Structure 1
């Protein structure tokens, strides 16, 4: 397991500034667990005597198991940008499942987790308080990861090739900026649109349309970073929007600011 082999922000807004307040490390899973898990992440901070820090997070299509004192739970996909307040001193361990990777553990639509966190006890047969004490008392990151991997491995389901398909689709959406509609994905992968929608709703917890929107709006933010003189009308049209106000509303829901506010901050 290699620490920080994955250093991109991966949804943590303004990570350079944030890492002045906290430490973020990511660890790759072992082979068998890695079929279902994208990576493990550990955040630690020491702000005693300092002001709390508000960290903004851009949504992503992944379920997270988060181990945190008195808050341990399994969280579904957050569909809008959200904030986490870091204060005093603490440490959190997270398990980021691959898109679709958590479904085989519960065999129920992952969409039910959206806004409704699931207790860890019913899935992994461990009490939240016990796992919090065992894992968060470890001084070494690798020991923390070993403990959570062991717990997951005890309940590891059979491999489900729908997970492989879903991640191929999402990888294609990420790489190909020309994909702006579900029709494009349906044609590329020769999958009926309704079947595609059911698959994502059940396994990922959000629609393929939302996933496409997420990555295209992140691309739009990247374009604004590179070109301060971007054409907002052309940018929104290129992303498949025919109503500029709709584009601005969606951009703010994902990025947390209007295009104008975003550009002003990054100038």
Structure 2
């Protein structure tokens, strides 16, 4: 569930791990994530990531920041040696800390102090080991988290969870019928709590499934059948969406996987 593209190449370049947050943060934080790399004497590694509908808080020397939901692909270039310590919030989890509609920071990057003031010391997080950084953020974020999530946020979180878990969800009207919330109201709720609309959320989760299917099937991927399963009108629409975000068509992505067999026929 990391969104890391071409995972085989990535795992040769860096080590990725996650840690759970403190219990008080469970309604707001999905997990802490950590990347360690040592590329001394090796070429730089360009890593592409297919983001989720979630805000991230990241700590890297000289670049500690809050990243709103990015609607495109995220790319990071790793050189030398280092670590990134990150906080991935749940889809609705950042709204209480931002104190404003999450749509106001979509596709934006803010300095940590722009959101949290001087109360959070990025240097202390950077200086700590992984366990220590997690403990610092447990304390800081836990002290600012509401005792109970907003009921509206819980509803939106449940809708997003359904979109994530149920691959048959391909249209907003399916969520409208399941939750009894009008499409316009749902759009407003998602803009406020997630930062992007429900249609975008559905499409992004289905693109994650498309990337996973391409990685699993390699050169044997049937793009047309995949497009039908994920609710696309045809193969061309899936290919267009996939290419726009991943950077290459699904068939090419599949063929680049390790041990990919040639396409049938």
- TM class by smaller structure: 0.7 to 0.9
- Paired residue for 1:39, among 28, 31, 39? 31
Deviation at 1:231, TM superposition (A): 4.3
Alignment of 1:34-73 (within 5 A): 34-73=26-65
Deviation at 1:142, TM superposition (A): 0.9
Deviates more, 1:98-107 or 1:111-120: 111-120
Deviation at 1:203, TM superposition (A): 0.9
Per the alignment, residue 133 of structure 1 pairs with 123
Per the alignment, residue 169 of structure 1 pairs with 159
2 CA distance for matches of 1:122 and 1:155? 16
Deviation at 1:137, TM superposition (A): 1.4
> Which portions of structure 1, spanning 4 or more consecutive aligned residues, are displaced by more than 4 angstroms?
227-231
- Paired residue for 2:96, among 100, 104, 122? 104
Per the alignment, residue 217 of structure 1 pairs with 207
Per the alignment, residue 6 of structure 1 pairs with none
Q: Note closer, same or farther for the CA distance 1:42–1:235 as it changes in structure 2 (3 Å cut).
A: closer
Q: Note closer, same or farther for the CA distance 1:222–1:72 as it changes in structure 2 (3 Å cut).
A: closer
Aligned pair 1:75/2:83, yes or no? no
Whether the aligned pair in 2 keeps the contact of 1:59 and 1:254 (CA below 8 Å) is no
2 CA distance for matches of 1:218 and 1:161? 28
Deviation at 1:193, TM superposition (A): 0.8
What's the CA shift string for 1:185-218, capped at 9, x where partnerless? 1101111111111111111111110111112222
Tell me the number of residue pairs that the alignment of Structure 1 and Structure 2 aligns: 256
Deviation at 1:47, TM superposition (A): 1.6
Secondary structure of the structure 2 residue equivalent to 1:20 = helix
What's the CA shift string for 1:39-71, capped at 9, x where partnerless? 111212222222111111011001001111221
Per the alignment, residue 185 of structure 2 pairs with 195
What's the CA shift string for 1:216-244, capped at 9, x where partnerless? 22223334433755543443244333354
1 CA distance for matches of 2:224 and 2:11? 35
Q: Note closer, same or farther for the CA distance 1:125–1:150 as it changes in structure 2 (3 Å cut).
A: farther
Give the alignment's Cα RMSD to 1 decimal. 2.1
- Structure 1: 5+ residue runs without aligned partners? 1-8
Per the alignment, residue 246 of structure 1 pairs with 237
Q: Note closer, same or farther for the CA distance 1:84–1:227 as it changes in structure 2 (3 Å cut).
A: closer
- Structure 2: 5+ residue runs without aligned partners? 261-265
Q: Note closer, same or farther for the CA distance 1:232–1:13 as it changes in structure 2 (3 Å cut).
A: closer
2 CA distance for matches of 1:134 and 1:49? 29
Per the alignment, residue 3 of structure 1 pairs with none
Per the alignment, residue 29 of structure 1 pairs with 21
Deviation at 1:30, TM superposition (A): 0.9
Deviation at 1:116, TM superposition (A): 1.9
